């Protein structure tokens, strides 16, 4: 508990979200994983994937679009290759269920390729990637995120989702370095938050329904599209992510799933790919120390903002004072 009235403790927030999810039909095991994930995002300041997303989870559950009681099938199809069918459940609980199988593959071979399909991923990648790094693993993940929203140059309609990609590595005697970003100029969640606040976005963020640049989030979200990061280079990253997270896993491409989702359902049943590596297997015992030297060099050269710095600072403050209670959190208790 926290004594500050405009703050809530992490545990209380998890319990409140869990209760909502269970009320909408999620099993206690699924609710625990999703609630912890949402509260973790909120605590660390990834507000686009924190409590803001709870209503979307509830809509998908209430409409029967996602199965909150699904138990994943886990097939080890090669010593390092784990295929997971989420049976229309959520991705994070399916990944959690596969935890012992993933650990076994890493112990046996030093690598785990984790291919999820029939799974809804509605959150940030970093909470799961950071957990791998805290266990001493290097990890990367990518998602066919399911909402057709991104228009590369030359295309006349959205063809990609915001296709996030994340990477995490342990670092000697420091928190892991973890970055995680959409391969679009802005995540769909942030764009929705700015729309709700009535704010404009920078030129280059997206286009309206005629294909013209616009600074109005409404025009981008209603019939227009978001631009990839870095022009054709971001578009090609999205191509790779869709190919691996949907094509390789056997999940649905974003362009297939978007049309399928019923009105009012906010999550998407697609696919996700994670690759996890035990760095010690590379014969490089000094890996952690080498990464530390590299990160220290970057800070020394002036790149003193590293990915994770903002989140870890928010986390430390939340541990001391609790998580700030936003209007979105207040609305959840109404």
Q: Which residues are part of the catalytic machinery?
A: 48-49, 190
Query: From CA 8, how far away is CA 11, in angstroms rounded?
Result: 8
Instruction: Please choose, out of 174-182, 215-223, 246-254, 291-299, the segment that lies near ligand NDP by the rule CB under 6 A.
Output: 174-182
CA distances, 307 to each of 168, 175, 204, 209, 312 (Å): 10, 11, 23, 34, 9
C-beta of residue 37 within 8 angstroms of C-beta of residue 123: yes
Closer of 20 and 315 to ligand NDP (Cβ)? 315
Query: From CA 287, how far away is CA 137, in angstroms rounded?
Result: 11
Query: What helix, strand, coil percent values describe the chain, rounded to 5?
Result: 45, 20, 35
Q: Among residues 92, 123, 214, 249, which is the contact residue for ligand NDP, using CB under 6 A?
A: 123
Q: Does 37 bind ligand NDP (CB under 6 A)?
A: no
Q: Does 238 bind ligand NDP (CB under 6 A)?
A: no
Instruction: Please choose, out of 123-131, 150-158, 210-218, 291-299, the segment that lies near ligand NDP by the rule CB under 6 A.
Output: 123-131
Q: What's the min distance (Å) between Cβ of 300 and ligand NDP? A: 15
DSSP 3: S
Q: What's the min distance (Å) between Cβ of 193 and ligand NDP? A: 10
Q: What's the min distance (Å) between Cβ of 7 and ligand NDP? A: 21
Q: Does 205 bind ligand NDP (CB under 6 A)?
A: no
Q: What's the min distance (Å) between Cβ of 209 and ligand NDP? A: 22
Q: What's the min distance (Å) between Cβ of 54 and ligand NDP? A: 14
> Which residues does residue 214 pair with via DSSP β-bridges, in sequence order?
206
Length of the chain: 334
Query: From CA 64, how far away is CA 315, in angstroms rounded?
Result: 34
CA proximity to 168, closest of 128, 127, 140: 140
Q: What's the min distance (Å) between Cβ of 41 and ligand NDP? A: 8
19 sits in which H/E element: helix 10-23
CA distances, 73 to each of 115, 128, 160 (Å): 12, 19, 28
Q: Does 74 bind ligand NDP (CB under 6 A)?
A: no
| Strands ordered across the beta sheet of 81-90 | 73-78, 81-90, 111-120, 269-277, 138-144, 164-171, 174-182
How many C-beta atoms lie closer than 10 Å to residue 304's C-beta? 9
Closer of 127 and 322 to ligand NDP (Cβ)? 127
Q: Does 110 bind ligand NDP (CB under 6 A)?
A: no
Which residue is closest to ligand NDP by CB? 145
Q: Does 190 bind ligand NDP (CB under 6 A)?
A: yes
Query: From CA 34, how far away is CA 328, in angstroms rounded?
Result: 17
Q: Among residues 43, 49, 120, 315, which is the contact residue for ligand NDP, using CB under 6 A?
A: 49
Q: Compute how many residues bind ligand NDP; rule: CB under 6 A.
A: 28
Residue 204 has φ and ψ, to the nearest 5°, of: 105, -15
Closer of 80 and 267 to ligand NDP (Cβ)? 267
Report 129-158 residues binding ligand NDP (CB under 6 A): 143, 145
Query: From CA 160, how far away is CA 229, in angstroms rounded?
Result: 12
Site string for ligand NDP, 283-322 (x = CB under 6 A): ----------------------xxxxxxx-----------
Q: Does 56 bind ligand NDP (CB under 6 A)?
A: no
Residues lying near ligand NDP in the complex (CB under 6 A) are found at 46, 48-49, 121-126, 143, 145, 162, 164, 166, 179-182, 187, 189-190, 305-311
């Amino acid at each position: 508990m926290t004594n500050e009235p405009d703050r809530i403790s992490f545990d209380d927030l998890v319990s409140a979200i869990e209760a909502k999810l269970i009320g909408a039909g999620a099993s206690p095991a699924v609710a625990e994983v999703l609630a912890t994930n949402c509260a973790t995002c909120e605590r660390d300041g990834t507000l686009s994937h924190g409590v803001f997303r709870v209503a979307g989870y509830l809509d998908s559950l209430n409409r029967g679009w996602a199965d909150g009681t699904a138990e994943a099938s886990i097939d080890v199809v090669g010593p390092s290759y784990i295929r997971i069918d989420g049976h229309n459940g959520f991705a994070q609980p399916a990944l959690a269920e596969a935890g012992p199988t993933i650990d076994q593959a890493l112990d046996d071979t030093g690598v785990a390729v984790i291919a999820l399909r029939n799974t809804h991923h509605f959150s940030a990648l970093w909470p799961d990637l950071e957990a791998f790094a805290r266990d001493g693993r290097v990890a990367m993940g990518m998602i066919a995120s399911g909402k057709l929203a991104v228009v590369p140059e030359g295309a006349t309609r959205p063809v990609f989702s915001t296709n996030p990609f994340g990477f995490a590595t342990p670092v000697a005697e420091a928190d892991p370095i973890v970055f995680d970003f959409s391969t679009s100029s802005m995540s769909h969640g942030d764009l929705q938050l700015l729309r709700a606040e009535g704010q404009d976005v920078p030129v280059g963020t997206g286009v309206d329904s005629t294909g013209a640049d616009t600074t109005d989030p409404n025009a981008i979200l209603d019939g227009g599209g978001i631009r990839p990061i870095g022009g054709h280079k971001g578009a090609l990253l999205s191509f790779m992510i869709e190919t691996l997270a949907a094509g390789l896993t056997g999940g649905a491409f974003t362009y297939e799933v978007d049309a399928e989702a019923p009105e009012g359902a906010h999550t998407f049943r697609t696919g996700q790919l994670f690759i996890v590596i035990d760095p010690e297997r590379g014969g490089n015992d000094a890996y952690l120390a080498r990464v530390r030297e590299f990160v220290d060099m970057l800070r020394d050269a002036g790149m003193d903002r590293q990915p994770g710095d903002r989140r870890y600072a928010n986390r430390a403050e939340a541990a001391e004072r609790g998580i700030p209670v936003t209007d979105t959190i207040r609305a959840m208790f109404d």
